[in-house]
Amino acid sequence: MSTITLTTWSLEMTSPADLVPAAPAGPEISVVRSEVPSPEFSRFLYASVGGDIHWTDRLSLTRAQWVEQLGRPGVETWVAYDRGTPAGYVELDPQDDGVVEIMYFGLLPDFRGRRIGGHLLSVGIERAWDLASRWPQREATRRVWVHTCSQDGPSAMSNYQRRGFKVFKTETEQKEETPTPGPWPGA
């Protein structure tokens, strides 16, 4: 198996005033919180968004592990819909001391390049900043962060930076190249 150079960037936003929202994606696009945690739906989103860009870390999780992850207080999944069809999602993961990580963000392949991603990311960032209003046991958000890598979609990094994120760490490593799993086994 061959090796690749993988670069991972960590980006942060330390004030809600740093957000530069994208223009709305259009009246046919809605972004809705998935208020009832569903491991099946979340796994569908994860595999469908990340299947062609090497997202594999959650594919081996059991249903019980999905339930545990999604059931933690403050974890939220916001889904973009194009006329009722899921187009992409953003998963928020609150951490200690008022920090919220955008754990996963992306669009299903057929919805990329249609100006949905900037809008969805903007909504996700806004919801990260006001997360404590929906989860009173959580501290007010003081920092939102995300990481992306050189295997993510070609627009990921520029979208994060256009929304106001700043790079605070860059890591490079050699990694074995793995086949792209696709949205489901055997696809």
Strand partners, 16: none
Does the domain spanning 3-176 belong to CATH 3.40.630.30? Answer: yes
Per residue of the chain (187 residues), give pLDDT as tens: 688 898 999 999 999 999 999 999 999 999 999 999 999 999 999 999 998 888 888 999 999 999 999 999 999 999 999 999 999 999 999 999 999 999 999 999 999 999 999 999 999 999 999 999 999 999 999 999 999 998 888 889 999 999 999 999 999 998 887 766 666 554 4
Strand partners, 183: none
29-33 β-sheet, strand order: 29-33, 76-82, 85-94, 99-107, 143-149, 3-13, 166-176
Instruction: Please give the model's pTM, rounded to 2 decimal places.
Output: 0.93
Cα(158)–Cα(118) distance, integer angstroms: 10
